[in-house]
A and B are shown apart, each in its own frame.
Chain A
Amino acid sequence: MLSRTADNLFWLARYMERADFLARLIEATQRLSTLPTAYGGTGSEWESTLNAAGALETYELAFDKVTEGDAIHFLAFDSKNPSSIRNCIELARTNARAVRTALTIEMWQSINTAWLELKRFETSLGAKGTIDRVELSRFLDFVKKTSLDFDGSANRTMLRNDAYWFSRLGLYVERVDTTARILDVKYHVLLPETEAVGGTIDYFQWTAILRAVSALTAYHWVYKGGVKPWLVADLLILRPEMPRSLHFCYDNIVRLLDAIARAYGRQGPSQRHARSVLSRLENASIKEIFETGLHEFLTGFIEDNDRLGSNIAEQYLID
């Protein structure tokens, strides 16, 4: 297939996944920021959220201080924020339009409908300053629904060939990046039991992380107990059955890259690199990770994942 088509499919899926993540992140932060300080409210929730979204630097260029209203507007609707939800949906649609023939009708309709709907929300919510909380939660639901719809359409209607593989690859590369980032921003509350700081105050922070990646219920099923910080890290980094975990995502990345390599009859740097990242995840234990430093581990992982992105681009997307 055309490199440009593969590139468009890859980024289309990334943008949809990013929009979904941002919606969940905003929801979780809203919840957290209403807590009294005695329950772990720190007053800097929005700053750390902007950071997790990778948007703090651009935000600070435009605003003097972080307020909830500005932060939400910036993350959701600001066209100056390259990764705002609205920009993600618009970029997804631009990519979709350019590869109309590579998409199924269902996928196209899902994106196009979302884009039209977005215009409506921009009118009702796009103004800076005030937040209509009811309308905002409707908007965030809409974003989550859109990504489910797009995902489901892709899953149910796409031929299992390179177009499908590149699209799914985009989804997992993006998802694994967002999981790693949110863990890294919150790593200080995920210190292991032995360090016993903060006691239960951090409980709400941990659950906020789980909510942001829609894993709170999964946590209870897997660990069948109270929320423990190192187990939150274990769930999101190492559990192969958790669809947001680094391990799960890399399982899929390796599988997808192998499918491409088989179809094209050639392995390359992307396949080798992805396998080595996966094997490190497979062989790691949460104890070791905490011993060597969670922050160091996550920073290293994010770099590794970025490198995979450039490997894929060089090997397939730009010729």
Chain B
Amino acid sequence: MANGRFFDEMKRPDGLTRAVYERVNRWLESAPPELLASRRSQAELMFRRIGITFAVYGEKDASERLIPFDIIPRVLGRSEWTRLEAGLVQRVKALNLFLADVYGAGEVIRAGVIPSDIVYRNPHFRPEMSGRRVPHDVYVQISGIDIVRIDEDDFYVLEDNARTPSGVSYMLENREVMMRLVPELFAEHRVAPVENYPDALLACLKSVSPRPAGNDPTTVLLTPGQFNSAYYEHSFLADKLGIELVEGRDLLVRDDIVYMRTTQGPQRVDVIYRRIDDEYLDPLAFRPDSALGVPGLMSAYLAGNVTLANAVGTGIADDKAVYTYMPEIIRFYLGEEPLLKNVPTWRCRDPESLKYVLDHLPELVVKEVNGSGGYGMLVGPHATRAEIDSFADKLKHDPAGFIAQPTLSLSTCPASFESGIGPRHVDLRPFVLSGADGVRVIPGGLTRVALKEGSLVVNSSQGGGTKDTWVIDDEQGPA
């Protein structure tokens, strides 16, 4: 399928420009190359300035850690967005219902919708959570659903991130940079703002406080610390939310109540937006060697005295094996047809699928069930014969560890380079918030772009960059 016919979000096959991109196209056509070049270097400069803070938390060389940014916005029309949004809300509702069910009555399993071993023998399943309720039955307060587009009509979900999805700081920073970088382009569009994300997030976190309404819940962000690669995002968000950025050692548990150590003595904590994986939360409950966590935190959590966002055990919902059942899961809980498509997937644990996959490796993408970041995967159409052969061995050795999908023809968007403007493949991670009063999506998200020509891998660890994502009114005012 990687045969050169991709859906381009700006140019139709007949060479005409899609309506939502008209003004961007006009801007690109009228802007002299020097102008684009100067904007590109300006953008680089701005990011390097902020980027000092992006970069220093990671490896030695600061400049290495800047994620490339493309100055041409990715544009979605309001009506496209409305469709996507409805699909995201539906999906996240189903994820929450699924989690409440597998840690509760288990009806989805008894009804035969999903095999019990995929759930109960899954390393991400947390038996500690069985039979426990969480406030308002919300498990996944913050999710990032990775979306790809292949044509005018269809959005596919590539994966559900229901643990500690990151990248939202890029969504916010990209917008700030763009507003200063291309004010003339902004003036021609009505772009839905994203800057209220921190407020929405805080409201969402407070809404799931375990203590009765009336007192203002104390909310904190729990980070693994300054050596974590996402530390910049953690401190950025804590700052925007106006909440304390705590490490494990700043918290203590006494009589199943969580406190933070402050200059005025211990202060009770109600909601923890944790950016630490389950396994590291509490050395008494999970990995005893974890120095990042808080001894006794699980016990306080299970006693219902503190809310963790996201809940413990949500990894079961974004597991790649469970993913393959999402359409059935949505039908089962909501009685609705899924609005967003699942990428058709072969489960290699099933012998017939394995046979098909082995026979068709050159045209498939094969992923490790537990892999992430674009590592440990085979992109068939771009692989050499030798790579395919060695991957086939791995696959035969551990079929249950892999799933396979057709190579998707990811849509392309224009991106700006020294050599000119060219189409590049993109995906989209919108951020979805679930609180006591429902599910909402910030209009936009993080667009990741594969900057290498022809590449389908958008991960920043493998040459991917980001773009600002605009949701604009379909009917634009006079330009």
Give residues in A with beta carbon < 8 Å to B.
Answer: 1-6, 97-98, 100-101, 108-109, 112, 116, 162, 166, 260, 264, 266, 316-317, 319
Contacts and interface: CB of A to CB of B under 8 A. Distances in A.
A162 B263 contact: yes
A260 B264 CA distance: 10
Interface residues of B, number: 24
Interface string B259-273: 011111110000000
B235 interface: yes
Contact of B245 (A101, A108, A112, A317): A101
20 contacts: A1-B244, A2-B250, A2-B261, A3-B250, A3-B262, A3-B263, A4-B250, A4-B261, A6-B263, A97-B56, A98-B226, A100-B53, A100-B226, A101-B235, A116-B62, A162-B263, A264-B263, A264-B264, A316-B263, A319-B266
A112 B52 contact: yes
A101 B239 contact: yes
Nearest to A165: B263
B244 A2 contact: yes
A260 B53 CA distance: 30
Contact of A319 (B57, B62, B244, B262): B262
Interface of A is mostly: helix
Interface of B: 52-53, 56-57, 62, 225-226, 235, 238-239, 244-247, 249-250, 252, 260-266
Contacts of B226: 97-98, 100
B83 to A, nearest CB: 38
B52 A2 contact: no
B53 A2 contact: no
Contacts of B53: 100, 108
B262 A1 contact: yes
Contacts of A1: 244, 262-263
Given A2-B250, A4-B247, A112-B52, A97 B264 contact: no
B57 A97 contact: yes
Given A97-B56, A101-B245, A108-B53, A2 B262 contact: yes
Nearest to A264: B264
B46 to A, nearest CB: 13
A3 B252 CA distance: 12
A317 B263 CA distance: 6
A108 B252 CA distance: 29
Contact of A2 (B56, B57, B62, B260): B260
- B225, B249, B264 interface centre (most CB from chain A within 10 Å): B264
Contacts of B262: 1-3, 319
Contacts of A266: 264
Contacts of A98: 225-226
A143 B260 CA distance: 36
Nearest to A115: B56
Given A3-B261, A97-B57, A109-B52, 19 more contacts: A1-B263, A2-B261, A2-B263, A3-B250, A3-B262, A4-B261, A5-B244, A6-B263, A101-B235, A101-B245, A112-B56, A116-B62, A162-B263, A166-B263, A260-B263, A264-B263, A316-B263, A319-B252, A319-B261
Nearest to B50: A105
Task: List the 5 closest pairs (A to B, CB-CB), nearest first.
Answer: A319-B261, A316-B263, A3-B261, A100-B235, A101-B239
Contacts of A264: 263-264
B98 to A, nearest CB: 35
A252 to B, nearest CB: 19
Nearest to B232: A100
Nearest to B246: A2
Contacts of A4: 247, 249-250, 261
A266 B264 CA distance: 9
Contacts of B225: 98
A102 to B, nearest CB: 9
Contacts of A101: 235, 238-239, 245
A6 B56 CA distance: 22
A170 to B, nearest CB: 13
A109 to B, nearest CB: 7
Contacts of A166: 263
A116 B264 CA distance: 36
A206 B21 CA distance: 75
Nearest to B57: A97
Contacts of B246: 2
Contacts of B265: 319
Contacts of A260: 263
A108 B249 CA distance: 24
A29 to B, nearest CB: 34
Contacts of A162: 263
A260 B56 CA distance: 32
Nearest to B260: A2
A6 B244 CA distance: 12
A161 to B, nearest CB: 11
B358 to A, nearest CB: 49
B54 to A, nearest CB: 12
Nearest to A318: B261
A316 B265 CA distance: 8
Contacts of A108: 53
Contacts of A319: 252, 261-262, 265-266
Contacts of B252: 319
A267 B264 CA distance: 11
A244 B203 CA distance: 48
A1 B267 CA distance: 10
Nearest to B221: A101
Contacts of B238: 101
A109 B62 CA distance: 14
A28 to B, nearest CB: 34
A303 to B, nearest CB: 25
A2 B235 CA distance: 14
A266 B245 CA distance: 25
Contacts of B57: 97
A162 B262 CA distance: 11
A241 B264 CA distance: 33
Nearest to A266: B264
Contacts of A3: 250, 261-263
A98 B266 CA distance: 20
A260 B225 CA distance: 27
A97 to B, nearest CB: 5
